[in-house]
Every structure is written in structure tokens, then in C-alpha cells.
């Protein structure tokens, strides 16, 4: 069953068209990666799903809800079930790890409780448990500006997980991390999708990483989908087309079959 | 080997720009002194004479020292007015900055209005505000307080808005995406992110306002500025000099204190 269905999505920034007639369906629990050049529209596509960017036209259905028809309050409610992970982590650096993780619960709170930062014991225990699972138990009371990049991104993942999301949007989650931290992060996200059945929609620059971890790859070029299929069927020629360059200039090995 | 023509051209261009800028500054300086009939040699020659006069007349003496309690009281008044106007303005400015910042605004129209008000308050000099309020409130402490408040409010609103945009944009994006209510985003993400810089701006404004309050005091007939004016116009130069000395000492003290506080916060 599709948890996310995007139909004929188009986005204009003033006169510039960023997305053209994009349609795709994502099954519950699927790990989908979007690849494409910088400026191809990957980030716009991701942010149209939770309406952090308003689409110009088209339909976005998440978990049976027509996202574009929602008013302010209902949009907030829908967003609580969509986690988001960012390239630059987007944490509050001066607060502790556990405080940042609990921010993921604010969407479920009344304005009064949320503004005062009042969390229940159940929520706190959940946050601790998620942090332990991500190997951050010892960092829990440290301030986030004392962590390494990889640790910060794990805090970002924990913040998304305490939302109890059905879908996690990942915008270049490993673009500012070293190779070893990148692997840790990708392994965690893979486990989250496999064991917790949380759907993942991710933007990536590294084609090899996308092939290794994804169930499905979507290639975007100049705002349109040019590839949608299994990673092992992705040919060198297609990758060259996605990135708009010569096949010989692409650092990429086809899977032998 | 000689550098290629293109490279030499680039460097020649850079040198021309530097030379041109220098020539422009020189021309402006000379031009304006000709227009205002400013006599450079005479003004330079008058330095020693002025220093001599100051050494002879502008020196605190025993009589001036006897005015110390009065000066202390007026200095305290000026100090309190500047701290009070800054703190009051900071509270209002923070609220307005949240409404005005691109990151946290509720509506672009409200944000535009806030920016307009802040820029109006900021761009009219404090002394001009003091003159405006003199007409309506007369010569008293309230006039000084109000004019410092308005100027500080305008400046801090702008400074706080920029601080919010710089330090809280990314975490606000994250909390918005998670469905957090607006007010919770402000108190849980924006406030902790901007606090150190906000405190630093407030300290800076307290320092600035102590200096400005002295000037405003001359106009409004209150505080240490009034006392200086009084002594100066009654030709009591030793006492006026003592006032200036006291002001300098207090300003330096406050600056040292606020630097220490700033190191503690940041």
C-alpha cells in the first residue's frame, strides 16, 4: 500500500520552474533515494511533501490525507507523523542532547505545554531509549555543540524518531560527514527502515551509497523524473543522463548481471 | 619569466582602484576644508595654547571636590536612566524582533510594519527625539528616558532580528517540519539560541546609553549632563572638569564590567 502518492507535482519559484509534473508512489516501509545534480529539484521535491515549500500545483497524498487541502492546524498534525533529517543537523547547539531529542515531541503538545517545555515521564523514557539504541547514551547530557558531526546527525535521527513518524524525509543526511560517520548514519537509517518499518525518502549525492542501501532509486534531472527503478538495474548510461555528463566522466560501476 | 598580459592587467587594475580611492578621499578632505574655510595651520598651532588653558583652568580643585556628593547623585541618576531605558527597550525590542524576523514572523505584513517602525525609531537621532519630547513633556527625567528608550528600541529590534535570522533559522526549520506550535518553537529553539548574543547587545546598549544620556541630560536639564552644563556656563571650570573626569571613570568602569560579563556569557 502506498503511504505517499505524489501526482503531477509542479513547483515554480517566480518564473523559474523547479519541478515539472512529478508523479511517484512510495510503499510503506520502502527505502527510496532521490539522486540528481545540485539544483535539479531534489530538495524542493522533499520539502513539498511536508509543505515546508508550497507546491504550485499537483496532489500530495500522505497516509490517506490530501496534504494540500490542510489548514494550519491540520498541517501541523500531519507533520508530526513525518520526521525530517537535515544536512546541517538543524539542532539547537546550546542545548543538551536530550533536550534536542524531546523537541520532536513538541508537535503533539498544546501551545502552553510546548512553550514551557513540559514533557511527561513516558516521553522522557522514550527519548532515553531511542538515544541508547543510537549509541548516544553517554552523550545524553552533553551540549550539542560539543558533539562530532556524526553524533549530531544521530541526535537529528533521534529527534525524528521520538515523533513516532511513518515517514522520514532525509535531505542530504551525510553530505557534511566523513566516510566513517556516513556509514554509521546510513546503517542506522537502514535499520530504522527494516526493523521499524518506517518509510524513508532521501536525497543523496553519492550514487554508490544510494545503490547499496536503497530499495528503489529515483533520478531527477531539471525537475523531471528520468529514472525510477531498482538500484541494480541502474546503468552507467542512465546515471550519465541523470547528471547530464558523458558516461566516461562518471565515477560509477554497473552491477554485473 | 615575465607575467602574462592578462595577469599584469588584473594587477594594474587593482593598483588603479587603490590609487583612485586615495585621490578621492584626499580631494574630499581638501574640498570640504576650502568650502568651510578651515584653517589647518592655525588649528594645529592652537593645540598647545588649548592644552595650556586646560592645565590652568580645567583642573578639579578643592572647591570642586566638595561638589562630589552632588555629582555622585546626578551620575547615579544618569546611570539608572540609561540602564532602565535599555532594559525596558530590550524587552519590547525582543518581542518586536520575533514578529519582524524572517524566521519567526507570523505574517509578512506585520514583519514589514515592525521593520518600518524600528527603522523610524533608529534613524532619528536620540538628541532629535529628546527635542521632540521636550516640547510635549518639558525638561524632566521622563523626556530623557523616553528618547533613550525610543532610540534603543529601534536599534535593538534591528540587532535582535538579525541575531534570530542568523542563529535560529535552521532549528526553527526543523521544529516547524515536526509540527511544533509557533510559540513552542520560539521559546524552545529561538530563545536558547539567541540568548548570549541578545545579552551582549544589551550590555553594549547600556554602555552607549550612558554616553548618550549625558548629552541628552544637557538638553533636558537632568542628570550629570545638566550639572556639567550648569558649572560650565557659570564659569566654574574646575567643577566642570571634575564632572568630565567622573564621567570618564564611570564609562571605563562600566565597559570593564560589561566585558567581564560578556566573557562569562559567550
CB B219 within 8 A of CB B134: yes
Find the domain containing A223 and state its range: 1-81+166-252
Q: How confident is the model at residue B175 (pLDDT cuts 50, 70, 90)?
A: very high
Residue A5 pLDDT > 70: yes
pLDDT of residue B138: 86
Interface A–B counts its CB contacts (< 8 A) at: 95
Tell me which chain B residues have a C-beta less than 8 angstroms from the C-beta of A79: 176-179
Are A51 and A32 members of one domain? yes
- Specify the pTM: 0.86
Interface test with A, best of B171, B178, B186, B191 (most A CBs within 10 A): B178
Residue A115 pLDDT > 80: yes
Domain stop point among A134, A164, A194: A164
Residue A251 pLDDT > 90: no
pLDDT of residue B58: 84
**Average pLDDT score over residue span B134-151:** 91
| % of chain B with per-residue pLDDT over 70 | 100
pLDDT of residue A255: 65
Searching chain A, which residue's CA lies closest to the CA of residue B167? A92
Nearest by CB to A77, from B174, B179, B187: name it: B179
Q: How confident is the model at residue B75 (pLDDT cuts 50, 70, 90)?
A: very high
CB burial of residue B211 (10 Å; 0-12, 13-18, 19+): middle
Are A170 and A247 members of one domain? yes
Radius of gyration, alpha carbons of chain B = 25
Residue B166 pLDDT > 70: yes
Helix axes B191-220, B237-265, angle to 10 degrees: 180
Are A3 and A75 members of one domain? yes
Residue A257 pLDDT > 60: no
Are A40 and A145 members of one domain? no
Q: Enter the C-alpha cell of residue B208.
A: 552607549
The DSSP element (H or E) to which A21 belongs, if any, is strand A16-27
Task: Return mean pLDDT, chain B.
Answer: 92
Phi-psi region of B265 (alpha: psi -120 to 50; beta: other; left: phi over 0): alpha
Domain stop point among A164, A183, A199: A164
Residue B191 pLDDT > 60: yes
pLDDT of residue A57: 95
Residue A253 pLDDT > 80: no
Q: How confident is the model at residue B3 (pLDDT cuts 50, 70, 90)?
A: confident
Residues in CB range of A106: below 8 A, 6 or more apart: A114, B175, B178, B179, B180, B181, B184, B185, B188
Are A179 and A236 members of one domain? yes
ipTM over 0.85: yes
Residue A13 pLDDT > 90: yes
Residue A85 pLDDT > 90: yes
Domain stop point among A143, A164, A185: A164
Tell me which chain A residues have a C-beta less than 8 angstroms from the C-beta of B176: 52, 79
CA distance A255 to chain B (A): 37
pLDDT of residue A78: 96
Are A3 and A76 members of one domain? yes
Tell me which chain B residues have a C-beta less than 8 angstroms from the C-beta of A50: 177
Are A66 and A125 members of one domain? no
Are A151 and A40 members of one domain? no
Q: Enter the C-alpha cell of residue B3.
A: 607575467
pLDDT of residue B265: 82
Amino acid at each position: 500500500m502506498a503511504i505517499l502518492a505524489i501526482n503531477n507535482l509542479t513547483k515554480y519559484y517566480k518564473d523559474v520552474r523547479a519541478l515539472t509534473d512529478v508523479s511517484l508512489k512510495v510503499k510503506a516501509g520502502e527505502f527510496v533515494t532521490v539522486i540528481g545534480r545540485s539544483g535539479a529539484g531534489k530538495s524542493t521535491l522533499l520539502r513539498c511533501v511536508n509543505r515546508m515549500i508550497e507546491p504550485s500545483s499537483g496532489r500530495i497524498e500522505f497516509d490517506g490525507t490530501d496534504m494540500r487541502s490542510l489548514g494550519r492546524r491540520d498541517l501541523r498534525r500531519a507533520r508530526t507523523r513525518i520526521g525530517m533529517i537535515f544536512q546541517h543537523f538543524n539542532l539547537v547547539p546550546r542545548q543538551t542532547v536530550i533536550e534536542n531529542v524531546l523537541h520532536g515531541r513538541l508537535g503533539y503538545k498544546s501551545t502552553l505545554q510546548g512553550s514551557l517545555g513540559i514533557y511527561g515521564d513516558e516521553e522522557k523514557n522514550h527519548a532515553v531509549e531511542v538515544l541508547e539504541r543510537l549509541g548516544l547514551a553517554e552523550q545524553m547530557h552533553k551540549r550539542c555543540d560539543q558533539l562530532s558531526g556524526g553524533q549530531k546527525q544521530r541526535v537529528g535521527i533521534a529527534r525524528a524518531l521520538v515523533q513516532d513518524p511513518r515517514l522520514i524525509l532525509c535531505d542530504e543526511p551525510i553530505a557534511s560527514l566523513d566516510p566513517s560517520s556516513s556509514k554509521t548514519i546510513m546503517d542506522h537509517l537502514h535499520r530504522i527502515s527494516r526493523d521499524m518499518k518506517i518509510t524513508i525518502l532521501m536525497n543523496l549525492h553519492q550514487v554508490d551509497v544510494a545503490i547499496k542501501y536503497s530499495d528503489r532509486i529515483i533520478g531527477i534531472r531539471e525537475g523531471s523524473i528520468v529514472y525510477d527503478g531498482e538500484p541494480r538495474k541502474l546503468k552507467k548510461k542512465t546515471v550519465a543522463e541523470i547528471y547530464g555528463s558523458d558516461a566516461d566522466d562518471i565515477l560509477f560501476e554497473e552491477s554485473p548481471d | 619569466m615575465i607575467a602574462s598580459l592578462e595577469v599584469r592587467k588584473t594587477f594594474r587594475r587593482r593598483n588603479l582602484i587603490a590609487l583612485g580611492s586615495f585621490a578621492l578621499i584626499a580631494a574630499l578632505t581638501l574640498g570640504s576644508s576650502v568650502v568651510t574655510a578651515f584653517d589647518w595651520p592655525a588649528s594645529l598651532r592652537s593645540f598647545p595654547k588649548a592644552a595650556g588653558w586646560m592645565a590652568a583652568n580645567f583642573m578639579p580643585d578643592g572647591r570642586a571636590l566638595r561638589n562630589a556628593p552632588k555629582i555622585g547623585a546626578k551620575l547615579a541618576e544618569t546611570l539608572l536612566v540609561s540602564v532602565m531605558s535599555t532594559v525596558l527597550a530590550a524587552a519590547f525590542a525582543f518581542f518586536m524582533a520575533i514578529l519582524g524576523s524572517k524566521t519567526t514572523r507570523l505574517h509578512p505584513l506585520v514583519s514589514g510594519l515592525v521593520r518600518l517602525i524600528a527603522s523610524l525609531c533608529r534613524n532619528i537621532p536620540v538628541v532629535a527625539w529628546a527635542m521632540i519630547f521636550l516640547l510635549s513633556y518639558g525638561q524632566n527625567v521622563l523626556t530623557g528616558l523616553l528618547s533613550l528608550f525610543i532610540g534603543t528600541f529601534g536599534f535593538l529590534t534591528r540587532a535582535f532580528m538579525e541575531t534570530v535570522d542568523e542563529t535560529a533559522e535552521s532549528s526553527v526549520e526543523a521544529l516547524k517540519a515536526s509540527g511544533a506550535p509557533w510559540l513552542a518553537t520560539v521559546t524552545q529553539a529561538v530563545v536558547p539560541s539567541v540568548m548570549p548574543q541578545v545579552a551582549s547587545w544589551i550590555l553594549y546598549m547600556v554602555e552607549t546609553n550612558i554616553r548618550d544620556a549625558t548629552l541628552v541630560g544637557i538638553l533636558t536639564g537632568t542628570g550629570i549632563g545638566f550639572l556639567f552644563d550648569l558649572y560650565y556656563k557659570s564659569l566654574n571650570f574646575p567643577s566642570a572638569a571634575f564632572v568630565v573626569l567622573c564621567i570618564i571613570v564611570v564609562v571605563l568602569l562600566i565597559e570593564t564590567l560589561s566585558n567581564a560579563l560578556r566573557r562569562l556569557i559567550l
